[in-house]
Structure 1
Amino acid sequence: MEATGMNLITWNIQRGRTPGGECNIAHTAASLRGVADADAICLQEVSSGYTDMPGCDGANQFALLAAHFPAHVPVTGLACDTAGEGGQRRMFGNMILSRYPVWQVIRHALPWPPDPDVMSMQRIALEATLDTPLGLVRVITTHLEYFSRLQRSAQVQRLRDLQREAAAHAARPRAGAAAGPFCATPRAGAAILAGDCNFLPGSWEYHCLQAPFDDGTPAWADAWRLRHPDRAHAPSVCLHDHPGRPADPFTCDFVFVSDDLAPRLAEVGVAMDDLGPDHQPLLVRLD
């Protein structure tokens, strides 16, 4: 039977952490398959070259994840790319794995205004236009700043700017050459934004991201609220009490859909099993 829907998982894998605390991408891949047979997978905190973070052995997790999902197109977005020992690069960022053809990839560096009193790092939004059974869909995965509200707020504003820009590109396709980088590759209007936003439901950032646009741009809508309007968000962080990580459940992982995709939203849920990281995977199905 021809596929008519789309399953998407988003998960902050925290470098592939397991319940025992070590980093094991094979375990991460098996956990993802246990949640669902996902057509698109959005991952945050994928690393390579780091040996100074708990459990990390320096393995290139981007390559390992691609090998574990050979039927998916791997799309990598590096937020951090710095010098490591022996000339090795230390890389950290996001990843999309897509069962569907990937028409275009754009890597957006998000704002990083100075906030010297707190730890912070460069953040990105990784965008891929996928050719899905629903038509072209722009999938964006991001991981916003945790320690600095100044930076996180600027990043939310930039995500709104990107939505406005992409919707304008979709509505008014650019002229293009027959070949080469000026070729007019389409940028989808329908969109999904998934990731670890590091803000809470009801926060200023949460409402700002979803505020209506004054020019007709399709607004972002929280997928959980669309499917469960009368239920509080299921917690996505600290559901399981690991040594050194006392459980204090809350929500900061989200999937947002553009208004034009909202009628296609069929399911939104949080995987409750103890898969290792502080964060739980979110599953969204569109029909």
Structure 2
Amino acid sequence: MRVVSWNIHWGCGKDSRIRIHAIIDVLRKLNPDIICLQEVAANHPELEGNASANQFRQLAGAFGGYQPVLEPTSEIYQNNMPRQFGNLLLSKYRITQVHRHSLPWPPDPANPGMPRGLIEAVVEAPGGKLRMLTTHLEYYSQIQRMAQVKHIKDLHWEACERARLYQPTPGLDAPFQLGFRPGSAIYCGDFNFTPDSPEHAAMLATDDSIALPLVDAWSQTHPDSARAPTAGLHGFKWPERPACYDYFFVTEDLVPRLNDVTVQSETAASDHQPIVIDIT
């Protein structure tokens, strides 16, 4: 099983031109089973390069064999047209449940930020059902970002507890049917924090609950290697120097199945690099 996570910067490369086809080409070469994308745009001509096309539709159409889950976390209307910006998940595997979680957006006088969200899809992966989750946390406001991390951990506890308490109940009316939602999970995306940050530590923190502990998949697969940067390459204006902002966090029960985590550093199609996890 191969998963790719990528903040595509609405397809805007270092030459300030939007080339969604370049994003598609890279993804096809990587040949993932699940694709998790952040900073997908629709009807945003004011963004660098003019992101006026519906990229959610373009990307879903380019991967017709995948089931799409859209989550435009920001949706602002102008002339009755929605300007959308957010996350997209595409899966070759059958999806049995989808949950779209809005993340906290507490007021921060210094940084307004933008709405953020988390896609959760229960997929029938080869090794069994698991939850696949992707997000893009706030960059400018540490207050908002930490609140979002804490909420993700609460949602993780909730999922693990529900997996313990509830089994599928097809006798209930359809909206109440409890399809199996496992605790096992892969969290990925642009978390906008560095490995030495309090937010990273909070993602990995354990407590006395029954929640499956989360681990940083890179640290598990590269215990003696420096972390590869996921942004700051190819001469983009941001950030000032190469650093890691993009991660895979997996539940502890999936660690024996980890094969590798890699960063695809060659492409300049976005200001972030695609990151790839391979699991048996």
Q: Normalising by the residue count of structure 1, what TM-score does the alignment of the two structures yield?
A: 0.94
Structure 1 runs of 4+ with >6 Å offset: none
| 2-structure distance, mates of 1:144, 1:247 | 19
| 1-structure distance, mates of 2:233, 2:226 | 15
1:44-76: CA deviation from partner (whole Å, max 9, x where unpaired):
001111111101241111111000000100001
| 1-structure distance, mates of 2:220, 2:51 | 41
Q: In structure 1, the residue corresponding to 2:129 is in which secondary structure?
A: strand
2:62 to 44, 68, 81: 68
> Matches of residues 1-287 of structure 1 in structure 2 within 5 Å?
6-34=1-29, 36-84=30-78, 86-173=79-166, 176-178=169-171, 179-242=173-236, 244-245=237-238, 248-287=241-280
Q: Which amino acid aligns with 2:20?
A: I
| 2-structure distance, mates of 1:204, 1:19 | 31
> What's the RMSD between the two structures over aligned residues?
1.4
What is the number of residues matched between the two proteins?
A: 279
1:162-218: CA deviation from partner (whole Å, max 9, x where unpaired):
110001111221574535111112212210000000110021110111011312311
- Is 1:39–1:99's contact at 8 Å kept on the other side of the alignment? yes
| 2-structure distance, mates of 1:42, 1:123 | 15
- Is 2:94–2:123's contact at 8 Å kept on the other side of the alignment? yes
- Is 1:18–1:24's contact at 8 Å kept on the other side of the alignment? yes
- Is 2:160–2:210's contact at 8 Å kept on the other side of the alignment? no
Q: Which amino acid aligns with 1:9?
A: V
Q: Which amino acid aligns with 1:41?
A: I
- Is 1:167–1:217's contact at 8 Å kept on the other side of the alignment? yes
Cα drift, residue 23 of structure 1: 1.6
Q: Normalising by the residue count of structure 2, what TM-score does the alignment of the two structures yield?
A: 0.96
- Is 2:168–2:180's contact at 8 Å kept on the other side of the alignment? no
Q: Which amino acid aligns with 2:108?
A: D
Q: Which is further off, 174-183 or 75-84?
A: 174-183
Instruction: Specify every segment of 5 or more residues in structure 1 that has no aligned partner in the other structure, as ranges.
Output: 1-5
- Is 2:184–2:251's contact at 8 Å kept on the other side of the alignment? yes
Q: In structure 2, the residue corresponding to 1:58 is in which secondary structure?
A: strand
Cα drift, residue 18 of structure 1: 2.7
Q: Which amino acid aligns with 2:120?
A: E
| 2-structure distance, mates of 1:176, 1:82 | 38
Cα drift, residue 236 of structure 1: 0.4
Cα drift, residue 133 of structure 1: 0.3
Cα drift, residue 24 of structure 1: 2.1
- Is 1:40–1:97's contact at 8 Å kept on the other side of the alignment? yes
| 2-structure distance, mates of 1:23, 1:186 | 40
- Is 2:216–2:248's contact at 8 Å kept on the other side of the alignment? yes
Equivalent in the alignment of 1:3: none
1:228-264: CA deviation from partner (whole Å, max 9, x where unpaired):
111121000011114x457610011000000111111
